[in-house]
Structure 1
């Protein structure tokens, strides 16, 4: 029996990200062991009781998880966003509430401080996090956002400071945070006075969380949610609460720009981390299928079950390829990272929610179990849709993709000298990346590096030669290239119409998101440098992923060759037996 072990954060300071993940996984122990205090049974029970498991928080305290959110130059361990995502997947694999409540809420606040805070504000935030403190944030809500979060704060000048009023109905960790990041719009005094030129402009403030009973402040009752039930979601209400001028983050009235710099980071990171939650859903379903005899409809011997499992595995690989490109683009292609982050935030929640539904058909009534061997599946199914919420939800992300298509209907590579097939963009744990800082405001690039790289990837796939799998890859790559050409044509026609109808723009955004994901998949295959016998090295993995993706674009897409099916099925079972994750990294998980 493998149980949780202590993990020391001080031991991890100089180690590679792979070593840190290994130690964290070992600390969590075997998720399937009923005797493990950090096993699935314990997390399910804590979720049922709407709390985060204290033993898990203690483990993360010892690991020093907050150091992963702090740049190395400020004493932390943050270098590459893709590396941070991998560490956090180990947390989300156990409990999305733990990942959001302990980690993501603080990081969503900190990233704005790293982007626009003064040197003193950055040092203070780093010291707070490294000491184990928590942060909570209230981002401004885009017009296309969700009503669950659609309310705001306002400020009016008051001598050398400001008076803060208003309320936010739902902030994760509001009751436990030491520090609050608040975006507040410029308002008018009750008598109507105020500068109309700055009305509704937005400023960011970093304040200490007021103590209960502080005049002008009220912590609203906890809100319950269907998913991530352990998260402590409260509202905040301020009534002419005084804030000093030194609490402004960055320049006054520059909050919207700061939020815009942070959005690509949180759009890319959150759904990418949540792949750990989807991994648990797939692993639970594989365990269920393997426990059934050959004549059972749920057995791996039946085509229906095999198809559902292989489709889910392929979707996870596809999502991870896109997530990899989006997170690394923040370092390598910062001017394009906003669009790539929007694609991740829009597409991943949709694909993962659909994946879990398809897997639930395999589990049957066990998909609804709230206890027992397979209860982790129901928990994952409830938690995953929550990743589509937030200050930059799916609707706002889809609108950002549509704006990209209207601005760049040709979808060609940039002309500013960046190579459209830049290898580092597609390599998991590739070479050390430039320092991560949310991109400064700058004119957007004149091209699309990811989708623009597809032409060259198609050319390489068509030159493979070989057997049935290689021919299938060439055919699927060619079909994806043809879909891109159709999209380019439709985008040009749309723009020529001057005022494109919204439904048609959004339909094109859906197609673009899938084509971009396919380009990421081909790029990972094209630039792979790992072991020659791995799934990513040969064409089998890419064939199965592209076959699944192309069926979404064209239901008449030919089926993949039997060799590809058998190769992916063997990999699915090997990773289950070896306790490895179902993403690009095949991470050894705790045992």
Structure 2
């Protein structure tokens, strides 16, 4: 199967139509007669395999074209669109989203970043023909031992000899191409180099036993052992010893898109909880008349909107602010797994014992609860991402444009704006001159203060609280710079990284409220959701007091129930699902 697309398919209308087609083909997750319904995904999960019918459907849809740049015949034009399309898959099965899609994309990104013309062409043809890829990234410090690499490539006549083990790769036995990063001692003591290899099959490449996981159980994770595997000169990706730089070019892309896709999985957890609450009688503690239940649903919806605002800024930032995208994507990779995991735990309190069900009407909740933490694993885990945020804080005494300048940030916050420049991989590793997201905050705060309507006062108060938090953060960063010890870091810097991530999320929410509403207004133009989102963020910061409006909670609860009845997604797009 070969898929070719053109510019017309990257417009916003075409994107909506493409997502609608995928949703329609996947069908209603709750329909017992749907061969791609919840019961079938749960049964496949129990067998620890991906659902074959779902894989065939994605083959027919040409999902791999989403991972191939438009100039090479694919559909990849905007990273925010890539995440939106994959949410439809993650909404059904995170293992399918990772095993079929994200694993190939993680490898292909490296080829797009620094592969030569022939490597890019071959990789595009492989993916558009339905092939699969996997990538063995180098592990940053602090690392993740579960995914630890021990690969070494030494020079030999005509290329390199690869030895060592990669302990865990998704789809290792099924891939047609591998991207591996290996230590190349001749290029430097700590030098790594990237290589593009055929899939395993040679006599000197052994598959290691499968590793079982508690989540994403349909993913077949195995290790590879290389014993003197020869790599020709045409397998070198970029320059020898340039693997670290190449990985750094890939991380902003993968850190921003992966967690954004995972919002589809969290969407299912919320949707399942709403169904559970609706099924209970008025006197039940789990019913919609229960204050605890209502609060849990509203908080979960608010958290999803916060996460999507931050994801939007990070994915669009790769295009618009490439020199700042390393920090933006690290914030997403650091904050979203924490927020979504806490969100699912709070929802589990509503479901009670049903949160442990592995089949039946509410079995998808347990699956989402197991899968979400596993999506946070990877070569750029939360600890490594927090390290990037700390670097950013140490580079700039004030983590925001020091001169307080404000530019035109509108395109950064518009969910449906398709006017984005192409990604420039070389700029993704350049030093950022400032912090445009936080520099956008003063103008957004002024807009919030000038808002009109029932929830305008609450929005203005919450925006002022966020501005206060930013001022306090800058003061603390300045004191940290003055008292920074000669060696090591103060433990306080880790708390500052947490606060920075939350303030960045708040700035993203305000920016989306200020710039993101479409011509028909809708939820994004309503001050209620923004006031609730900022109150939730400021509450997590716990430095200034702001009260979420009670009427705002009722307003959002009505939106939660309307979207459930209309089968629309719980993100910024309110996408019709399963139709």
Q: TM-score range by the shorter chain?
A: over 0.9
Aligned to 2:159: 161
User: Does the C-alpha gap of structure 1 residues 300 and 66 become closer, same or farther in structure 2, counting only changes over 3 Å?
Assistant: same
Partner of residue 198 from structure 2, selected from 192, 195, 208: 208
CA displacement at 1:550 relative to structure 2? 1.2
Q: State how far apart, in whole Å, the 2-side matches of 1:11 and 1:125 are.
A: 16
Contact 1:93 1:279 in 2 (8 A): yes
Q: State how far apart, in whole Å, the 2-side matches of 1:183 and 1:151 are.
A: 8
Q: 1:52-67, aligned counterparts within 5 Å?
A: 52-67=50-65
4+ long deviations beyond 6 Å? 7-13, 414-417
Partner of residue 544 from structure 1, selected from 532, 535, 544: 532
Contact 1:162 1:244 in 2 (8 A): yes
Aligned to 1:45: 43
Structure 2 gap ranges (5+) = none
Q: Does 1:446 align with 2:436?
A: no
CA displacement at 1:441 relative to structure 2? 5.7
CA displacement at 1:23 relative to structure 2? 0.1
Q: State how far apart, in whole Å, the 2-side matches of 1:441 and 1:366 are.
A: 45
Count of residues paired in the alignment: 573
State the secondary structure of the residue aligned to 1:296. Answer: coil
User: Does the C-alpha gap of structure 1 residues 392 and 37 become closer, same or farther in structure 2, counting only changes over 3 Å?
Assistant: same
Note the alpha carbon deviations across 1:211-251, whole angstroms, 9 max, x for none. Answer: 1xx33211111111010000010100011111111110111
Q: CA RMSD in A?
A: 1.9
CA displacement at 1:399 relative to structure 2? 0.7
Q: 1:383-532, aligned counterparts within 5 Å?
A: 383-413=371-401, 419-440=406-427, 443-467=430-454, 469-499=455-485, 501-532=489-520
State the secondary structure of the residue aligned to 1:238. Answer: strand
State the secondary structure of the residue aligned to 1:183. Answer: strand
State the secondary structure of the residue aligned to 1:576. Answer: helix
Q: State how far apart, in whole Å, the 2-side matches of 1:400 and 1:242 are.
A: 35
Q: State how far apart, in whole Å, the 1-side matches of 2:292 and 2:519 are.
A: 32
Aligned to 1:342: 330
Partner of residue 348 from structure 2, selected from 320, 344, 360: 360
State the secondary structure of the residue aligned to 1:182. Answer: strand
Q: State how far apart, in whole Å, the 2-side matches of 1:380 and 1:59 are.
A: 22
Aligned to 2:560: 572
User: Does the C-alpha gap of structure 1 residues 414 and 556 become closer, same or farther in structure 2, counting only changes over 3 Å?
Assistant: closer
Aligned to 1:4: none
Contact 2:113 2:249 in 1 (8 A): yes
Note the alpha carbon deviations across 1:301-320, whole angstroms, 9 max, x for none. Answer: 11000000000000000000
CA displacement at 1:199 relative to structure 2? 2.8
CA displacement at 1:440 relative to structure 2? 3.2
CA displacement at 1:253 relative to structure 2? 1.2
Q: State how far apart, in whole Å, the 1-side matches of 2:353 and 2:429 are.
A: 52
Q: State how far apart, in whole Å, the 2-side matches of 1:329 and 1:445 are.
A: 12
Note the alpha carbon deviations across 1:516-536, whole angstroms, 9 max, x for none. Answer: 000000000011331545111
Q: State how far apart, in whole Å, the 1-side matches of 2:479 and 2:544 are.
A: 25
Contact 1:118 1:250 in 2 (8 A): yes
State the secondary structure of the residue aligned to 1:346. Answer: helix
Contact 2:300 2:343 in 1 (8 A): yes
Q: State how far apart, in whole Å, the 2-side matches of 1:132 and 1:466 are.
A: 52
Q: 1:8-47, aligned counterparts within 5 Å?
A: 14-15=8-9, 16-47=14-45
CA displacement at 1:466 relative to structure 2? 4.5
Q: State how far apart, in whole Å, the 1-side matches of 2:264 and 2:431 are.
A: 32
Bigger mean CA deviation after superposition, 31-40 or 554-563: 554-563
CA displacement at 1:477 relative to structure 2? 0.2
State the secondary structure of the residue aligned to 2:427. Answer: coil
Aligned to 2:91: 93
CA displacement at 1:444 relative to structure 2? 1.2
Q: 1:79-228, aligned counterparts within 5 Å?
A: 79-187=77-185, 195=186, 198-211=188-201, 214-228=202-216
TM-score normalised by the chain length of structure 1: 0.94
CA displacement at 1:548 relative to structure 2? 1.3
User: Does the C-alpha gap of structure 1 residues 8 and 149 become closer, same or farther in structure 2, counting only changes over 3 Å?
Assistant: closer
State the secondary structure of the residue aligned to 1:436. Answer: coil
CA displacement at 1:12 relative to structure 2? 9.7
Q: State how far apart, in whole Å, the 1-side matches of 2:305 and 2:352 are.
A: 25
Contact 1:415 1:447 in 2 (8 A): no
Structure 1 gap ranges (5+) = 1-6, 188-194
User: Does the C-alpha gap of structure 1 residues 447 and 185 become closer, same or farther in structure 2, counting only changes over 3 Å?
Assistant: same
Q: Does 1:277 align with 2:280?
A: no
TM-score normalised by the chain length of structure 2: 0.96
State the secondary structure of the residue aligned to 1:371. Answer: coil
Q: State how far apart, in whole Å, the 2-side matches of 1:12 and 1:448 are.
A: 35
Note the alpha carbon deviations across 1:493-533, whole angstroms, 9 max, x for none. Answer: 11111336342111000000000000000000011331545
Contact 1:298 1:305 in 2 (8 A): yes
Aligned to 1:3: none
Q: State how far apart, in whole Å, the 2-side matches of 1:466 and 1:98 are.
A: 44
